[in-house]
Structure 1
Amino acid sequence: MSHHARWAQVAALFAAVVAVGSNAFVLTPILREVSASLGTVPQHVAWAISAFGAATAVSSLVLSAQLDRWGPAKVLSLSAVLLGVAELSSSLSAHWLHLCLAQAMAGVAVGVLLPGTYATAAAVSPRGKEAKVIGLVLTGWALSLVFGVPFAAYVTEHVGWRSVYVITGTLSLAVACALWLSLRGISLSRPVERVALQGALRIPGVAFMLLLVFGYMTAFYGTFAYFGEGLRVALHLSAQGAGSFVFAYGLGFGIAGLMLSHFAPRATKSYMVTALVLISLCYVAWLPASTVRSWAFINSAVWGFLNQLALNALIVTLNRYAAEARGVVMGIYSAVTYVAVFAGPLCMGPLYAAYGLFGVTAMAGAIVLASAAALLAVRVHH
Structure 2
Amino acid sequence: MIVAQTLAGAAAGLALPSVYSLAAQIAPEGKESRTLGTVLTGWALSPVAGVTISALIADLAGWCAVYVTLIATSLMTTLGLRKLARAEDPKTARAATSPIRALAIPGILPALASGTAALLLTVCPIWGAANHLALNLLIGNLTALDPARRGAVMGLNSFVTYAAMFAGTAAYKPIFETAGFAPLAGLSALSILAALVLALRWTAPQKTA
Displacement after TM superposition at 1:177 (Å): 0.9
Contact 1:146 1:248 in 2 (8 A): no
Contact 1:142 1:254 in 2 (8 A): yes
Within the alignment, does 1:184 sit opposite 2:85 as a pair?
A: yes
The partner residue of 2:120 within 203, 206, 212 is 206
Output the TM-score relative to the length of structure 1: 0.39
Q: What does residue range 102-117 of structure 1 map to in structure 2 within 5 Å?
A: 102-117=4-19
Q: Which secondary structure state, in structure 1, belongs to the residue aligned with residue 87 of structure 2?
A: coil
Contact 1:232 1:242 in 2 (8 A): no
Q: What does residue range 146-165 of structure 1 map to in structure 2 within 5 Å?
A: 146-165=48-67
User: Partner of 2:169 in structure 1?
Assistant: 257
Within the alignment, does 1:138 sit opposite 2:40 as a pair?
A: yes
Q: What does residue range 1-382 of structure 1 map to in structure 2 within 5 Å?
A: 99-181=1-83, 183-186=84-87, 188-190=92-94, 194=97, 197=100, 200=103, 203=117, 205-212=119-126, 214-215=128-129, 218-219=132-133, 230=143, 233=147, 235=149, 237=151, 243=155, 245-264=157-176, 266-267=182-183, 271-280=187-196
Could you tell me how far apart the structure 1 residues matched to 2:41 and 2:101 are? 32
Displacement after TM superposition at 1:262 (Å): 2.4
Contact 2:57 2:66 in 1 (8 A): yes
Greater helix proportion = 1
Could you tell me how far apart the structure 2 residues matched to 1:285 and 1:148 are? 34
Which residue identity lines up with residue 277 of structure 1 in the other structure?
L
User: Partner of 1:31 in structure 2?
Assistant: none
Contact 1:150 1:244 in 2 (8 A): no
Output the TM-score relative to the length of structure 2: 0.65
Greater gyration radius: 2
Could you tell me how far apart the structure 1 residues matched to 2:183 and 2:86 are? 36
Which residue identity lines up with residue 159 of structure 2 in the other structure?
F
Which residue identity lines up with residue 215 of structure 1 in the other structure?
A
Aligned residues: 183
Q: CA RMSD in A?
A: 4.0
Contact 2:41 2:173 in 1 (8 A): no
Q: Could you tell which deviates more after superposition, 199-208 or 108-117?
A: 199-208
- CA distance 1:140–1:184, change in 2 (3 Å): same
Contact 2:23 2:39 in 1 (8 A): yes
